[in-house]
């Protein structure tokens, strides 16, 4: 893709226009950031893993009746997607206490939640992506009350599907982040990516709190063997898809 078509460069992806105004091209980079880009680095092979894992999961979810922005992958690090307007929200689903939930509530790492928690964060780097209440979401006109309910329903349904897949792969789905977009008819689509960058994934056969980590926490916490963890998740997910979907 030429520079001329570039619409936007984010921390992990570059977005390009295509000849069709309804279709965009996403290029997945190896660049990695954490803590609102205070920590920067590269994870070799990450772009391809995140693109391929996301493509497989989007295709699976689409087959289960969840509309996604995914169209196809013209190359291993490139995904063609529907041109939707991204709602500036990070919809986080948590099955097990980790990360900011532990920091902000004191819940112990690894505590299984009696019901999955769905949270909304404002996608705004300059504010540090703050946690929002439903009233603040409405106040900021980020989504209507109906859309908020639909986001939560979709997020819970996606969680059920992803939990099943990862469980079969020998991986515990601790938590993950989703983004959604709207088309010109206000139809809601699952967008962005679902990958080791955006999920916490623990190897079920490991109890050691560092060894079990198969996601971006290896980079965030300098645990080493980051590339191996990403590759491991790609192998397990693509292998599962080839056997069961
Ligand atoms: P948190 O515990 O840091 O709030 O993260 C919850 C989940 O969201 C975790 O799976 C990682 C993912 N996440 C992102 O995808 N992007 C982000 O910028 C952050 C902070 C978290
Ligand atoms: N999205 C975060 C950042 O802004 C990275 C993360 O912790 O996932 O750098």
CATH 3.40.50.150 holds for 85-224: no
Ligand 1 mean position to 75 CA, how many Å?
27
Q: What is the mean pLDDT of residues 45-56?
A: 98
For position 154, what pLDDT does the model report? 98
For ligand 1, say whether the CB of 46 is within 6 Å of any of its atoms: no
Inform me whether the pLDDT recorded for 245 exceeds 90: no
Nearest CA to 94 out of 79, 85, 83, 105 is that of: 105
Task: List where CATH 3.30.200.20 sits in the chain.
Answer: 3-82
Inform me whether the pLDDT recorded for 223 exceeds 80: yes
CB 173 within 8 A of CB 162: yes
For position 244, what pLDDT does the model report? 81
Ligand 1 mean position to 100 CA, how many Å?
8
Tell me the sheet residues that pair with 112: 96
Residue with CA at minimum distance from ligand 2 atom 6: 34
Task: List where CATH 3.30.470.20 sits in the chain.
Answer: 85-224
For position 173, what pLDDT does the model report? 99
String of DSSP letters for 195-225: STTTEEEEETT--STTTTB-STHHHHTT-S-
Tell me the sheet residues that pair with 200: 175
Tokens describing residue 168: 């079969």
Q: What is the mean pLDDT of residues 36-43?
A: 97
Residue 44: CB partners within 8 Å, gap ≥ 6?
30, 227
Ligand 1 mean position to 177 CA, how many Å?
6
How do residues 69-95 score in pLDDT, each as one tens digit?
999 999 999 999 999 999 999 999 999
Of 10, 12, 37, the one to substitute when testing ligand 2's pocket (max ligand atoms within 8 A of C-beta) is 37
- Reported confidence tier of residue 3, pLDDT bands at 50, 70, 90: confident
Inform me whether the pLDDT recorded for 147 exceeds 80: yes
For ligand 1, say whether the CB of 33 is within 6 Å of any of its atoms: no
Inform me whether the pLDDT recorded for 23 exceeds 80: yes
For position 122, what pLDDT does the model report? 98
Distance CA 131, CA 128 (A): 9
For ligand 1, say whether the CB of 120 is within 6 Å of any of its atoms: no
For ligand 2, say whether the CB of 216 is within 6 Å of any of its atoms: yes
CB 37 within 8 A of CB 46: no
Average pLDDT of the residues of the chain: 97
For ligand 2, say whether the CB of 36 is within 6 Å of any of its atoms: yes
Task: Please report the atom of ligand 1 found closest to the CA of residue 177.
Answer: 8
CB 46 within 8 A of CB 32: yes
CATH assignment, 3-82: 3.30.200.20
Inform me whether the pLDDT recorded for 1 exceeds 90: no
- Reported confidence tier of residue 4, pLDDT bands at 50, 70, 90: confident
Ligand 1 mean position to 92 CA, how many Å?
7
């Amino acid at each position: 893709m030429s520079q001329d078509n570039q619409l936007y460069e984010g921390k992990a992806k570059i977005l390009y226009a295509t000849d069709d105004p309804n279709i965009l091209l996403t290029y997945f980079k190896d660049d990695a950031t954490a803590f609102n880009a205070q920590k920067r680095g590269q994870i070799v092979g990450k772009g391809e893993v995140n693109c391929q894992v996301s493509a497989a999961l989007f295709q699976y979810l689409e087959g289960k009746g969840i509309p996604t922005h995914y169209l196809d992958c013209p190359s291993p690090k490139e995904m063609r997607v529907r041109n939707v307007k991204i709602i500036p929200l990070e919809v986080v689903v948590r099955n097990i206490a980790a990360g900011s939930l532990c920091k902000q509530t004191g819940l112990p790492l690894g505590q299984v939640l009696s019901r999955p928690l769905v949270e909304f964060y404002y996608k705004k780097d300059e504010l540090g992506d703050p946690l929002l209440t439903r009233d603040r979401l409405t106040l900021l006109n980020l989504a209507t009350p109906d859309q908020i309910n639909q986001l939560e329903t979709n997020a819970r349904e996606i969680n059920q599907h992803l939990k099943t897949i990862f469980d079969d792969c020998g991986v515990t789905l601790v938590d993950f982040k989703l983004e959604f977009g709207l088309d010109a008819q206000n139809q809601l689509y699952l967008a962005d990516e679902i990958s080791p960058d955006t999920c916490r994934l623990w190897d079920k056969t490991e109890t050691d709190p560092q060894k079990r980590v198969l996601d971006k926490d290896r980079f965030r916490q300098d645990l080493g063997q980051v590339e191996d963890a990403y590759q491991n998740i790609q192998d397990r997910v693509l292998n599962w898809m080839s056997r069961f979907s």
